[in-house]
Amino acid sequence: MRQRLATALTASALTLVAVAASATPAAAAPADKPQVLSSWTQTSSSSYSAWLSARNNQSAWSAYGFNWGTDYCSSSPDNPFGFPFELSCARHDFGYRNYKAMGTFSSNKARLDNAFYADLQRVCNRYSGATATACDGLAWTYYQAVRAFG
């Protein structure tokens, strides 16, 4: 009898612990999340580099709850004519998705689009001559598309 009572009490205690643990609210994102997000979505190459470093080490930023998902350049080619626009599109998606989640997208959209264009221009700066001209034209087209439809 004593063993049954002890087993029942242990089971009840474990059930209470499990219920209490599941009822605990999720930890809130760190208070500096807006500042970190802003620092990773500026037009500068240092902002891009900081974002890329964080993207390559997402687990270190898991407490922030960032959305790292991307469809890259949506329905446009990710690497049109061999120009590597994929990461520029990924950072643009990162900004859009996270500012939308924070409810501050409209006040940040123009900067996100400008940062996207700056990223594309940095890609095009790797080329010269007619190749650079072609890349610049595509970059301008992608930028105008996100300004109008993004």
Written as one string, the DSSP assignment of 87-106 is HHHHHHHHHHHHHHHHT--T
Q: Has residue 14 been placed in a domain?
A: no
Please count the structural domains in the chain: 1
Q: Across residues 100-122, what is the average pLDDT?
A: 98
Question: Which residues does the annotation mark as catalytic?
Answer: 92
Check if the beta carbon of residue 135 is closer than 8 Å to that of residue 123: yes
16-66 per-position pLDDT tens digit: 334 333 333 457 899 999 999 999 999 999 999 999 999 999 999 999 999
**φ, ψ for residue 52 (rounded to 5)?**
-60, -40
Q: Has residue 11 been placed in a domain?
A: no
To the nearest whole percent, how much of the chain has pLDDT over 70?
83
Taking each helix axis from N to C end, the angle separating 109-124 and 86-102, rounded to the nearest 10 degrees, works out to 170
Paired tokens of 84: 């590597």
Is the model's pLDDT at 2 over the cut of 70? Answer: no
More confident residue, 17 or 126: 126
Mean pLDDT for the chain? 88
Q: Has residue 19 been placed in a domain?
A: no
Q: Has residue 17 been placed in a domain?
A: no
Is the model's pLDDT at 112 over the cut of 90? Answer: yes
**What predicted TM-score, i.e. pTM, was given to this entire model?**
0.82
Q: Has residue 105 been placed in a domain?
A: yes
Check if the beta carbon of residue 115 is closer than 8 Å to that of residue 41: yes
Instruction: Assign residue 78 the CATH number of its domain.
Output: 1.20.90.10
Q: Across residues 12-18, what is the average pLDDT?
A: 40
Domain that holds residue 120: 29-149
